[in-house]
Chain A
Amino acid sequence: MKSQRSMAVIALVFLLAACGPAEPPALPANTLERGLPSDPETLDFHKARSTQAADVQRDLGEGLVGYSPTGELEPASAERWEVSDDGLTWTFYLRDELRWSNGETVTADHFVAGMRRLVNPATGSFYAQMLGDIENAAGIVSGDIPVSMLGVDAPDERTLVMRLVQPTPYLLGLLTHPSTYPVHPGTLAEHGESYARPGRLVSNGAYRLESWIPGSLISLQRNEHYWNNAGTAIDAVNYHVIVQATAELSRYRAGELHVTSNVPSESFAQVREEYGEQLHVAPYLGVYYYGFNLTKPPFNDNLALREALSMAIDREQLAEKAVGRGEQPAYSWVPPGVNNYEPPTLSFSALSKEERERLARVRYKEAGYGPDNPLQVEIRYNTSDHHRKIAVAVQSMWREVLGVETTLVNEEFQVLLNNMREAQITQVFRSSWIGDYKDAHTFLSILQSDNPANMPRYESTEFDELMARAAAQVDPVHRRLFLEEAERTMLQDHPAIPIYFWVSKHLVRPEVQGWGDNVLDYHYSQHLSLSAPE
């Protein structure tokens, strides 16, 4: 009797277990397996904000302009464009064979609808300011002007006219960003705000969304209606969400991925030895920096102290030994690789190690500190092995060169962001800025006093003025001079310590053809193909 009952219980439990997930169908051949460092928050083109969402969106949708595998601008949905002499009016001509993934025609109106949706306050887009240089955009974002007033019009099905408030040399770069992609009005009307889910999303790129298991897998299938379908080699793309870089590496090594999104710094030397040719490291448009909180003591009124701390850091050792993946030591704010720009450098960049450290001690003393009165300071960084290593190394360098007593505080990323924005308890914090387009503006503008991304709370009327004057220039040479002067001013004020310039790191299997390294780290799946594995 009793054993029968327990058998029944066990049978029931197994039944429950059997109700578990069904097996995914076997993968079709010609499928690209890519790693993704975390789930996108959404695939809605106008609401997404993370780089990993944008990576997937570049496969799903298409903007007026795109990038080649090596990172050169090239026509995408627009086959050509014109700009007026004052640089304020742009006209884009669309290809005539543009189709949505359901076969309908993509018209210029759909692009207008997408851009209006981006700046519409009701959308609540994180990139709402992306098109801030378009006429009336700023007023629409703040809710003062109706959305229909946006300076983008479609005089006919295949022509798009954009009116700007100031010359914007980086406009084409902006128009590659997924937040400027068109929207399919029918789907949006039918499904409302959550139109971007599998089974609903209608997109205009090389691929369409097949399925999405949060925390695990995003599957894309070839869009048969895409204008360049014939030029797209790979039939399906699987984005595997793998949060830990070491886990991603294991999966690559087990033969489950074609392309990784990262290479863990802990295993970098080993990977380079083992996978030599498959390892792709390239300069990446990003600066890794330590910011000072300029609203509070000890940093608000002590330039000498900020300079001393910046000088005491041995950037070569940090980049080569602590990080060691080909990162370049940073002696400027804007990384190399932006168009038409030559970054000025920090005053001590050419000094020898001994001389630099001697000067650092001099400045430290001038700042009012010394062996009997050491600076006590906190470094905040977000939890990660990589940031930990750098923080420990900086702590060690400050201690050895200046005798600074540093406390390390690691926090969750969200908490660190919050603390940086409130600028109440932070002293020194680690952060990064990744460029959205290849122009010095994307790096310098975040230090303008009214920019919400200005984490150090740097406020300099001189810097702001130079930036404003640069923005008003039509002539690229003049613009460049003002931007360089702005950076020079900012570097002398030491609102932050640039530490190194990022590199992108990927493992790419030999059968993947068409891979190109570029400073924006964009790798459209449609540019790739798979040869038969050996």
Chain B
Amino acid sequence: MLRYTLLRVVGAIPTLLLVIALAFMMVHAAPGGPFDNERVVSPEVEANIAARYHLDDPLPVQFLRYLGGVLQGDLGPSYRYVDYTVSELIGSALPYSMALGIIAMLLALLLGVGAGTAAALRQGTGFDRIVMAFSMTGISVPVFVVAPVLVLLFAVKLHWLPAGWSGASGAGKYVLPVITLALPQVAYIARLARASMIDVLGRDFIRTARAQGLGTSAVVRVHALKPAVLPVLSYMGPAIAAILTGSVVVEEVFGIPGVGQLFVRGALNRDYTLVLGVVVFYASLIVALNLIVDILYAVIDPRVRYR
């Protein structure tokens, strides 16, 4: 088990290098430089700026310089926020996205697996239909519609909750963003859990267990839940990615200073180092999450283990 874990960790390093190289090339291939603005500057001034940020070096030199920095934990200065380093910006944005994402994810997991399992056990009943109808609705409405509707209802009309993030105090400001962010994931996970649970409940070993006289709750808890959660588990990586993507809309609509918003703004503004920094950070995060999922997989289902 330890050897397996170590091997996977070592294997992650070339992946990360590849991601950095790919992202670096893509960022530099994109048209539009970081210093374009309506205020156009003279060639002299432009050359000064380019020299300061080493934009006039050949690309491979720029890449190696960047990689060297990354190895020392230095993601470089941001072009967009000239007074800040990329690490500082990500560091300041991360707690907001983390808090939001983790709460939304937990909510989605608890509600999703719970509702999905319950629906699977009552397959075909009214309860099942209600859960599935809710789940369908959750998947069917885009986040960028849900968010403004919730704001209109609870902030503008009822004045129960704040419409924005900055300036608001208390836990209230988390409520609308978390609901908006969690909603599609609850729906998605519920569907996944239900389908997988129905699948597992139909398998032979469950029938055997049932034939031995075990009650439904015991069957689910002892035998069915673990294999049924597998597809949900392997969905966790993408779910986190989806939450990060979804957080772009949520962060933008609610004005939350998180990583998603930082990233999209960075990409649209051609902030080379900020975009790269977020990619590197994000890549590490996702590689790490995949690693954890794979290891969890191996723990839960010992038949699935690499040689």
Q: Residues of A with Cβ closer than 8 Å to B?
A: 10, 13-14, 16-17, 19-21, 23-24, 26-27, 33, 38-39, 41-44, 47, 49-50, 121-122, 124-129, 141-143, 193-194, 196-197, 213-217, 238, 240-244, 246-247, 250-251, 253-256, 412-415, 417-419, 421, 431-434, 451-453
B39 contacts chain A at the CB level, 8 A cutoff: yes
Which residues of B lie under 8 Å from residue A453 when comparing CB positions? 38-40
Shortest Cβ distance from residue A60 to the other chain B in the assembled complex, whole angstroms: 14
Q: Is the CB of A124 within 8 A of B52?
A: yes
- Chain B residues with CB below 8 A from A217, complex form: 166-167, 257
User: A44-B83, A124-B49 are known contacts. Are A250 and B39 too (CB-CB below 8 A)?
Assistant: no
Across the interface, B102 reaches (CB within 8 A) one of A13, A43, A432, namely: A13
Q: Are A414 and B159 in contact (CB under 8 A)?
A: no
CB-CB nearest in chain B for A213: B257
Spell out B's residues near A (CB within 8 Å). Answer: 31-34, 36-45, 48-49, 52, 80-84, 89, 92-93, 95-96, 98-99, 102-103, 106, 148, 151-152, 155-156, 159, 162-170, 251-258, 261-262, 265, 268-270
Task: Find the A residue at minimum CB distance from B30.
Answer: A415
Q: How far is the CB of A428 from chain B (nearest CB, A)?
A: 18
Set of chain A residues within 8 Å of B33, measured between Cβ atoms: 414, 418
Once the chains bind, are A126 and B39 in contact (CB under 8 Å)?
A: yes
Report chain A residues within 8 Å CB of B96: 20-21
Instruction: Tell me the total A-B contact number using a CB cutoff of 8 A.
Output: 190
**Alpha-carbon distance A419/B30, docked complex (angstroms):** 12
| A-B residue pairs in contact (CB < 8 Å), sample of 7 | A19-B98, A27-B169, A127-B39, A129-B45, A197-B83, A214-B89, A418-B33
- What residues of chain A lie closer than 8 Å to B45, measured between beta carbons? 121, 124-126, 128-129, 141
Contacting residue for B255 out of A247, A412, A413, CB 8 A: A247
- Bound CA span A242–B265, Å: 12
B83 touches A121 (CB 8 A): no
- Tell me whether A26 and B41 are in contact in the complex, defined as CB-CB below 8 angstroms, given that A17-B103, A122-B48, A250-B148 are known contacts: no
CA distance A216 to B168 in the complex (A): 11
**Are B164 and A240 closer than 8 Å at their CB atoms?**
yes
Give min CB distance, B226 to chain A, whole Å: 9
By beta carbon, the residue of chain B nearest A217 is B166
A421–B268 contact, CB under 8 A?
Answer: no
Min CB gap A316→B, angstroms: 27
Q: Is the CB of B95 within 8 A of A121?
A: no
| B32 partner residues in chain A, CB cutoff 8 A | 412, 414-415, 417-418
B98:A16 contact, CB within 8 angstroms = yes
Least CB separation from B163: chain A residue: A254
Q: Which residues of B contact A413 (CB under 8 A)?
A: 268
In the assembled complex, the Cα of A331 lies from the Cα of B106 at a distance in Å of: 59
Which of A214, A412, A419, A452 contacts B81 (CB under 8 A)? A214
- Excluding A42-B83, A246-B148, A412-B32, 12 further A-B contacts by CB distance (< 8 Å) are A214-B262, A238-B167, A240-B166, A240-B167, A243-B265, A254-B155, A256-B163, A414-B270, A418-B36, A434-B38, A451-B40, A453-B39
A26 x B169 contact (CB < 8 A): yes
Residue contact A121 to B253, C-beta cutoff 8 Å: no
Q: Which chain B residues lie closer than 8 Å to A129 at the CB level? A: 41-42, 45
Contact B152 A452 (CB under 8 A): no
Please measure, in the bound complex, the distance between the C-alpha atom of A121 and the C-alpha atom of B49, giving whole angstroms: 9
Q: Do A16 and B164 contact each other (CB < 8 Å), given the known contacts A21-B95, A214-B257?
A: no
Bound-complex Cα distance A194 to B148 (A) = 37
Cα of A7 to Cα of B177 in the assembled complex, Å: 26
User: B44, B81, B83 — which one has the most chain A CB atoms within 10 A of its CB?
Assistant: B83
Q: Which A residues touch B98, using CB under 8 A?
A: 16-17, 19-20
Indicate whether A213 sits within 8 Å of B166 (C-beta atoms), given known contacts A121-B48, A122-B48, A250-B151.
yes
User: Which A residues are in CB contact (< 8 Å) with B168?
Assistant: 256
- Residue from B41, B152, B169, B251 with most neighbouring chain A CB atoms (10 Å): B41
Task: Kindly list chain B residues whose C-beta atoms are within 8 Å of the C-beta of A214.
Answer: 81, 84, 89, 92-93, 257, 262
Chain A residues lying within 8 Å of B164, measured Cβ to Cβ, are 240, 242, 247, 250-251, 254, 256
Picked from B36, B106, B251, the residue with its CB within 8 Å of the CB of A13 is B106
Scoring A193, A251, A431 by chain B CB atoms within 10 A of each residue's CB, the highest score goes to A251
Query: How far apart sit A70 and B44, CA to CA, in the bound complex (Å)?
Result: 37
Q: Which residues of A contact B261 (CB under 8 A)?
A: 215
Q: With A20-B99, A23-B170 as given contacts, are A253 and B156 in contact (CB-CB < 8 Å)?
A: yes
> For residue A452, which residues in chain B have a CB less than 8 angstroms away from its CB?
40-43
